[in-house]
Amino acid sequence: MRVLGLMSGTSGDGIDVALVQIHGRGWRLRAHLENSCTLPYSPRVRRLLLRLANANRQPILSVAEISEANFLLGELFARAARQACRRFRVRLAAIDLIGSHGHTVHHQPRAGKRTGAQVASTLQLGEPAVIAERTGIAVVANFRARDLAAGGQGAPLVPYVDYLLYRHPRRGRVALNLGGIANLTVIPANASPQKVFAFDTGPGNMVIDAVVERGTHGRLRYDRSGRLAARGQPLAPLLRRLLRHPYFRRRPPKSTGREQFGQEFAESFLRQARRSSLPNRVRTATELTVESIRLAFDRFILPRARVHDVVLGGGGACNTFLVERLRQSLPALTFIPAGQLGVEGKAKEAFAFAVLAYQTWHGQPANLPSATGARHPVVLGVIVPGGGSRA
Amino acid sequence: MRVLGLMSGTSGDGIDVALVQIHGRGWRLRAHLENSCTLPYSPRVRRLLLRLANANRQPILSVAEISEANFLLGELFARAARQACRRFRVRLAAIDLIGSHGHTVHHQPRAGKRTGAQVASTLQLGEPAVIAERTGIAVVANFRARDLAAGGQGAPLVPYVDYLLYRHPRRGRVALNLGGIANLTVIPANASPQKVFAFDTGPGNMVIDAVVERGTHGRLRYDRSGRLAARGQPLAPLLRRLLRHPYFRRRPPKSTGREQFGQEFAESFLRQARRSSLPNRVRTATELTVESIRLAFDRFILPRARVHDVVLGGGGACNTFLVERLRQSLPALTFIPAGQLGVEGKAKEAFAFAVLAYQTWHGQPANLPSATGARHPVVLGVIVPGGGSRA
C-alpha cells in the first residue's frame, strides 16, 4: 500500500507530507519512506493558527470561526496532498490511503481544577471529509480522541512507530524528537511493546523560536544552527526559576503543548529577561530545552532502563548548537541522526501518521498504553471512505 | 443488522434513540423500527446547547469550551445508547452499528458576504470516538461534512430515507417534518431518486416554543396541543412583515436553522408584538409556520409536481391546532400521520440516521443531490471502528 501522511505541527509553519510504502501486518509491518516535503502556510494562515492556539482560554472566538477554520484547513490539507504528489511525480490514483493528523488547537487530557478543564478533550482541525472529497482517497484522521476516551493522554502516538523503526536486540535506544515540544520514546534493548515508554520533556524549539521572533521583531523566526545562542551566556537565576515549572517534575506518562509553553510562557520569560541581550535570552531558552531533557533522563529514564543511543529527529536537530549542548549534557550516549536509521527528522511525524493510518485501515490497534496511559490498546481514528461513486 | 440511531435536534430537548432492523442493499434496503425513546437533557446541558447555538456570531466561547462540549456530548450520547438498550431490553452486544448525528452547533453551507461566512462549513458535536469506546460498537457520525465538501448544503439528508419509506407508484407524496425547523421531501408518484427534492420551509416549532417560553417565564416550554394559539388572533401586519424574510422567497435547494430563526429572530418578533397578549403572539408564531409552509407548496412544490398526500411527522405533529390550520391551508391534500406508514413522527430522524449509517457501513452513497444540491452522490460520514481489542 502507498500511504500519504499529513502533519501540521504545533509550530504552525506548514504541512509536512510523507509518501510511505507499507506492507505486512501488526508488529511485522514494514514501512519505507519514498519521499517527503513541507508545504509552508501563508502568513495569513499562520496568523489564524496562532490565534486559534492562543484563544484556548481567551473567549475571543465564535463557534462559526472554529467551524470555518476546520473546513479551511481541510482544503489546505487536500491541496498539500495534491501538490506533494505532483512534486513526487506520483499520480493521486496511485495513493491508497491518506493519514491526516490535522492541526491541534486544543489538547487537555486531564480534567480537574488544576487544569481548569471540566472535561478531558482534544481537538484537531482539518475536516477529513474535505480531503477525501478533493482527492478521492480514503482518509484516516482524528487519531487522538479514541485513546483519550480509553483513559489515555491521546499522546504521544509516535512511540508506536519509533518501536517499529528503532527497536534493537542489544542496544537500548531513546528516540528524541525536537519539535515545538520535545518528546522522546524509550525502547530498552530487546523490549516487548509493553516495555516502551514515552513522554514530552517540555519545550523543544517553541520557547527559542518565540524569543527569537520577538527579539528580532519577526525578522528571524528561529535561531538558525543556534548561532545566536552560541554568542550568548545563560541567565542562571532565570533558568533555575524556569526549571521549577511543575511539568518538569511530573512523572510520565505526561504530555504538554502550547497551553503550557506557548505565548503566555514566552511573555513571562521575556518580562523576566528584559534587561538582557538577545543572544543571552536565546541561550537561556536553549539551555531550558537542554536542561529539561537532561533532567528527564536523570529522573525518569536512566533509573528505569539502560540506554546506549539517542536517535535524534525533528526541526531542532538542525540547531547544531543545541545538539552539541545535548551531547555535552549526556556524554555517555551515542547520538544518531534519525535519517541514518531510515526516516529523516522533519518527515518523521508525517511518516508516523501514514503508518498509524495503515494500521487503523486494517483494524489494528496502534496506541501504546505504556506511553499514553490508556487502559487498553485501541484502533485509532476515524475512517472517511474515498471516492465512492466517483472512483 | 440491528442499528441504533442517535439524534439531538435543534430544539435541544434531548437525545432521540431509535432501534432499527435493516437488511438488503441500496434502494432495496428494508428497515423496520423496533423501538424508540427520547432521553431528555438536564437543564444544565440544555443551557450549554443554547449557549453554543447562540454563540454562533458572538465571540463568547473559547476553543477549549467547544472541545470540551464535544467530548461531554460524546459521553451523553454513549449513555443514551446504553440507557435506551436497557429500556428496550436489548443487550448492547446485540447492536451491530450506531449512527450518531451529533448536535449541530453551526451550519452555514454558503460562504459569501450575505451569509458573513468566509468558508462554507458545518459542525456537529458529540465525539464518536467516545461513543465507540463506551459501547464497544462501531459508530458512523459526522454525516453532513462530505455532502458540503461536494458542493451540497449538507442538508437535508432525511429525504433519502423518506424516499425509501414513502415512495408510491401512483400517489405523489410530501413528507413534512415539523421539528424546530420545518422541512419537507417531495416524492412524485413513481419517481426515480433524481426526481425527489426537498428543502427546509422555515420555522417549525422554533419560534412558537421561544414565544411560549419567554411569555410564561419558562413555566411552559411549548404550546401543548396548540391550546394557547387556539385562543388567540393572528397579528396580521406583523405576520405580513415576518413573511417578507428573504429565506421564504429563496428557491430550493435551501436549508436553514437557528442562525436565521433562533434567538435573535424571536427577540425581534417579541419586540414588535410587545403590546399583544400571549395567545395572540403564539397564534401569530403558529400562523408564521402555517403560512410559510403553504407558500412553499404554492411557490416551489405544486408548480413542479402533483401531490396527493402529506405524511406528517416531527414534534409539531402533536400540536393539533397547528395541524388543523395546515389542513385548512392545503385542503386538497390528504394528511397521513407518519406513524401510520411505519415510523412514528418523533423517532423519524433517529431512524433516518440509523439507515444512513447502515448505507455508509456498506459503502453506499446516501445523499440525494437533487435535495442537497451536491455535485454527485457521496458516501456520508466517518466510520469509527468498534471494540477492537476489547471485542
**ipTM of the complex, rounded to two decimals:** 0.85
Q: Which CATH number goes with the domain that contains B352?
A: 3.30.420.40
Answer whether B377 sits within 8 Å of A385, measured CB to CB: no
Of A67, A117, A388, the CB nearest to B106: A67
Q: Which of the residues A115, A121, A376 would you substitute to probe the B interface, choosing the one with the greatest number of B C-beta atoms within 10 Å?
A: A121
Find the residue in A nearest to B374 (Cα). Answer: A133
Answer whether A68 sits within 8 Å of B119, measured CB to CB: yes
Residues 6+ apart with CB under 8 A from A303: none
State the smallest CA–CA distance between residue A306 and chain B in angstroms: 31
Are B169 and B271 within one domain? Answer: yes
**pLDDT recorded at residue B391:** 35
Are B258 and B312 within one domain? Answer: yes
Q: pLDDT band at B56, cuts 50/70/90?
A: low
Q: What is the per-residue burial (b if ≥16 Cβ within 10 Å, else e) of A172-211?
A: bbbbbbbbbbbbbbbbbbebebebbbbbbbbbbbbbbbbb
**pLDDT recorded at residue B60:** 55
Residues of A in contact with B119 (CB under 8 A): 68, 71-72, 75
Are A48 and A115 within one domain? Answer: yes
Are A72 and A182 within one domain? Answer: no
Of A60, A63, A149, the CB nearest to B129: A149
Distance of alpha carbon A374 from alpha carbon A21, whole angstroms: 29
**pLDDT recorded at residue B389:** 39
Are A259 and A272 within one domain? Answer: yes
Distance of alpha carbon A322 from alpha carbon A324, whole angstroms: 5
Residue B58: is its pLDDT beyond 80? no
Are B136 and B52 within one domain? Answer: yes
Strand partners, A185: A175, A198
Tens-digit pLDDT profile for residues B87-136: 999 999 999 999 999 999 988 888 877 677 789 999 999 999 999 999 99
Answer whether B123 sits within 8 Å of A383, measured CB to CB: no
Residue B187: is its pLDDT beyond 50? yes
Listed in order, strand segments (DSSP E) in chain A are 2-8, 14-23, 30-40, 97-108, 121-125, 139-141, 173-178, 181-187, 197-203, 309-313, 334-337, 382-384
Q: Among A311, A327, A345, where does a domain finish?
A: A345
A306 near A333, Cβ under 8 Å?
no
Answer whether B66 sits within 8 Å of A62, measured CB to CB: no
User: How many beta-carbon contacts under 8 Å exist across A and B?
Assistant: 189
Are B122 and B264 within one domain? Answer: no
Find the residue in A nearest to B64 (Cα). Answer: A56
State the smallest CA–CA distance between residue A103 and chain B in angstroms: 13
Are B302 and B168 within one domain? Answer: yes
Residue B302: is its pLDDT beyond 90? yes
Find the residue in B nearest to A361 (Cα). Answer: B385
Residues of A in contact with B71 (CB under 8 A): 119-121, 145, 148-149
The mean pLDDT of B255-282, rounded to a whole number, is 91
Report which of B205, B359, B224 is spatially closest to residue B286, judged by C-alpha positions: B205
Answer whether B142 sits within 8 Å of A66, measured CB to CB: no
Are A167 and A202 within one domain? Answer: yes
Answer whether A119 sits within 8 Å of B72, measured CB to CB: yes
Residues of B in contact with A100 (CB under 8 A): none
Split chain A (391 residues) into runs of 10 and give each run's mean pLDDT.
93 91 92 95 91 64 87 97 97 97 91 80 97 97 98 92 94 94 95 92 96 92 95 96 96 84 92 94 98 98 96 92 97 94 83 97 95 94 79 34
Tens-digit pLDDT profile for residues B210-229: 999 999 998 999 999 999 99
**pLDDT recorded at residue A390:** 39
**pLDDT recorded at residue A133:** 97
Tens-digit pLDDT profile for residues B12-50: 789 999 999 999 998 889 999 999 999 999 999 998 888
Q: How many domains does chain A have?
A: 2
Q: Among A345, A360, A379, where does a domain finish?
A: A345
pTM, rounded to two decimals? 0.86
A279 near A228, Cβ under 8 Å?
yes
Residue appearing with cell numbers 496506541: A367
Residue B59: is its pLDDT beyond 70? no
Answer whether A71 sits within 8 Å of B119, measured CB to CB: yes
Are A228 and A369 within one domain? Answer: no
The mean pLDDT of B167-182, rounded to a whole number, is 94
Q: Which domain holds residue B311?
A: 158-345
Are A294 and A378 within one domain? Answer: no
Are B188 and B292 within one domain? Answer: yes
